[in-house]
Copies of this chain bind each other. A is one copy, B any other.
Amino acid sequence: MSETRVHYEPLRLFIVTALERLGLPHADAAVVGDLMAQAELQGSDGHGVIRLLPYARRIRAGGINLKPRIQVVQERPAMALLDGDNGMGHLVMQRAADMAVAKARTCGIGWVGSRLSNHAGPASLYARMPLAHDMIGLYFAVGNANHLPPWGGLDMLLSTNPIAVAVPAGSEPPVVLDMATTVAAYGKVKAKAQRGESMPLGWMIDRLGQPLTDPKRAGEGFLLPIGGYKGYGLALIVGLLAGTLNGAAMGRDVIDFNQDDTSVTNTGQAVMAIDVAAFGDVADFKARVDRLVRDLRSGERMPGVDRIWLPGEQSHERRAANLRDGVALPPALLKQLDAFAVEVGMAPLARTVTTKETT
């Protein structure tokens, strides 16, 4: 069996060039391209280079402002609200994270929300940004398509609204939780459909409340929130904090960006940074996180469990492996990217084909 891998630097360059061909200024293309390549590195493949073609479609349809004037519209010492001017979400969120860190440095805590932003890739990218400053990062976002009704209801008024939190450790990897408030993200349903597999019980139900396991029938049902009414509550709260509070879309105002390439999505997100140094000695905190991580990892395991994972640990290992070996991209995606390269007149994505032992 052969496997095609793409290294980080050529991948990043390919995305940056592609975004420039689509009309993004170089500096903006560089920010977005880097974040999209980082998403691939950490294994967030649903939010990496696979998004290039949907972004291209929306950009060409006029659904993204290529020269946004991202502005602070509200500000207090520990908070700001950004108007993303319908630019690429990555640009708005990079700015939000930078501001949240700066505010946390002086105030102990910083919170920056956005309106008129767009899809920005995996939540953990932005929760992780404060880590380099010995800060805890949190990220909340309104998803760009509603797949979830309120508990007991049928109208899909809520999205998978994700939460991500990143906590720095010492010699251990940071603890990074990145979760949709539904049992499965919608991308996982699409993947099951593509592979012709059925879904496990508990991912979706139909309009009668019966389990739905055929991913081809996904349009007839909806995702289940985690913990039943609790996940519904979490999805709603995240939407209130990241959407309603910022004057961004929430509920019936959410635009389904799979169906609509032109309407302004008015996406809302929020990044928070907590400066560990404000609470005490940073090295001491990190040592306590390390000890906790080791206690959790080294405990007794259930029969059949090989290893206890900490949140973010698998992504952490994948990042190191992908940086070393390159990211494995599926042939169908590579073909699409090649066609796109021809179309915009740029070099194809450089890749390495390796022969993998079949086990």
- On A, residues with C-beta under 8 Å from B are 74-79, 81, 103, 106-111, 113, 136, 149-155, 157, 165, 167, 175, 177, 179, 183, 207-209, 226-227, 229-234, 236-237, 240-241, 244-247, 250-252, 274-276, 278-280, 285, 288-289, 291-292, 295-297, 299-305, 307-311
Contact = CB atoms under 8 A, between A and B. Distances in A.
A109 B153 contact: no
A231 B233 CA distance: 14
Contact of A79 (B81, B179, B278): B278
A300 B79 CA distance: 38
A232 B310 CA distance: 9
B157 A296 contact: yes
A149 B109 CA distance: 31
Given A227-B227, A245-B285, A292-B251, A279 B153 contact: no
A280 B153 contact: no
A276 B111 CA distance: 13
A63 to B, nearest CB: 24
Contacts of A311: 229, 232-233, 236-237
A225 to B, nearest CB: 8
22 contacts: A74-B278, A74-B280, A77-B77, A77-B106, A78-B108, A150-B296, A150-B299, A151-B309, A153-B296, A153-B300, A154-B299, A154-B301, A155-B299, A175-B237, A179-B230, A179-B233, A207-B302, A209-B304, A227-B227, A236-B310, A236-B311, A250-B288
A227 B237 contact: no
A274 B245 contact: yes
A128 B155 CA distance: 28
A227 B233 CA distance: 13
Given A107-B109, A177-B233, A209-B303, 9 more contacts: A76-B107, A78-B78, A79-B278, A165-B237, A179-B233, A207-B302, A226-B230, A237-B311, A252-B295
Nearest to A276: B245
Contacts of A300: 153-155
Assembly stoichiometry (copies): 2
Contacts of A151: 308-309
Nearest to A155: B299
Contacts of A246: 279
Given A107-B77, A152-B301, A250 B157 contact: no
A276 B292 CA distance: 36
B106 A109 contact: no
Contacts of A241: 136, 165, 167, 274
A279 B245 contact: yes
A179 B252 contact: no
A321 to B, nearest CB: 21
A308 B149 CA distance: 10
Contacts of A233: 177, 179, 311
